[in-house]
Amino acid sequence: MRILNSFALAAGLGLSTVAGFATSAMAEDVKIGFIVKQPEEPWFQDEWKFADQAGAEKGFEVVKIGATDGEQLMAAIDNLAAQGAKGFIVCAPDVNLGPAIVARAEAAGLKLMTVDDRLVDASGAEIESVVHMGISARKIGETVGEALSAEIKARGWNPAEVGALKISYDQLPTAVDRTGGAVDALLAAGFPEANIFDAPQTRTDTEAALNAATVVLNQNPQVKYWIAFGLNDEAVLGAVRAAESVGIKATDVIGVGIGGAASAINEFEKPDATGFFGTVVISPKRHGYETAMNMYEWVTNGVEPAKLTLTSGALARRDDYKQVLADLGVN
Ligand code: FCA
């Protein structure tokens, strides 16, 4: 399946490159931008892969740009306009750039859709006029919390002896919703609120999460067992690596992430289980393929996509992740 996809992808790109020199405005000339905030993160690479798959099927070109700050993002929008793109999909490095992004896209005559992270206005309210595909963040967070509670129980741990590492990134609303959902589910299952430790990360990568978690672990040597949750797999991997680095046994840690891309899979494929117990798999196919298709239909046939689409997730663990990924059509 993988080989077939990359073949189709290569063929599609070849086609659009050749067609780029033609003068007629055929489907092959259509260019759509796909800008992501963290191009090195496997989740975003998967989104790009599936967007390319849509492009290969329909014969349009996906211009993939990484923009890790506002300046790069504005330059990317201008660059897309200069290349003759018709619209773009973006996961912005900072959702507070919302009004600036909307204005720039409008000025450049580009249709705009957001993915994963929803833009907010100056008052912090979601900009509902921009087409968005995100995840059902609170619900997925609850699934994380339920999985953690179930595993605490399965291991026979006394909750009073368990600390929870909440890797937080409160400047991003979807992160607040995800960790909030996890906390709600933990509390509903009787987890002691006083045992939840906030570990704010400065960026949304593994290293920043590791640094945040290390501080909390060092401050709380009395805690016997740890659970960990956060915005994504990278956050939880950071917490798991931090626990390892301070000498906590893998069997004394339960981390449940969100994502299910290569960062999680690599962990499941290690011969010995680590503290990374599970992940709620979300669909880069829907977020990449479907958003690209929607944008294509919009710019070519004038079909405006639904204003808001929220996708769901499914828990995967070391012992069943292959099946879960297959069911979601992700692998
Ligand atoms: C956010 C996170 C990503 C991914 C995505 C769906 O953008 O930063 O890791 O979880 O939502």
Question: Bridge partners of 33?
Answer: 63, 88
**Is the distance from CB of 184 to CB of 146 less than 8 angstroms?**
no
What's the pTM?
Answer: 0.91
Tell me the best of 116, 170, 287 to mutate to test the pocket of ligand 1, counting ligand atoms within 8 Å of each CB and taking the most.
Answer: 116
pLDDT at 330: 75
Q: Which of 43, 234, 291 has the most ligand 1 atoms within 8 A of CB, as the residue to mutate? A: 43
Which parts of the chain sit beneath pLDDT 50? Answer: 1-25
Residues at CB less than 6 angstroms from ligand 1: 41, 43, 91, 116-117, 135, 174, 204, 231-232, 258-259, 282
Predicted local confidence at residue 331, as pLDDT: 62
The pLDDT of residue 45: 98
| Average pLDDT across the chain, whole number | 92
- Per-residue H/E/C for 96-119: HHHHHHHHHHHHHCCEEEEECCCC
Structure tokens at 270: 């290690």
Structure tokens at 169: 């990134």
Query: For ligand 1, atom 5, which residue shows the shortest CA distance?
Result: 116
What pLDDT score was predicted for residue 28? 58
70-96: pLDDT as tens digits: 999 999 999 999 999 999 999 999 999
Q: Is 310 exposed, middle or buried (0-12, 13-18, 19+ CB in 10 A)?
A: middle
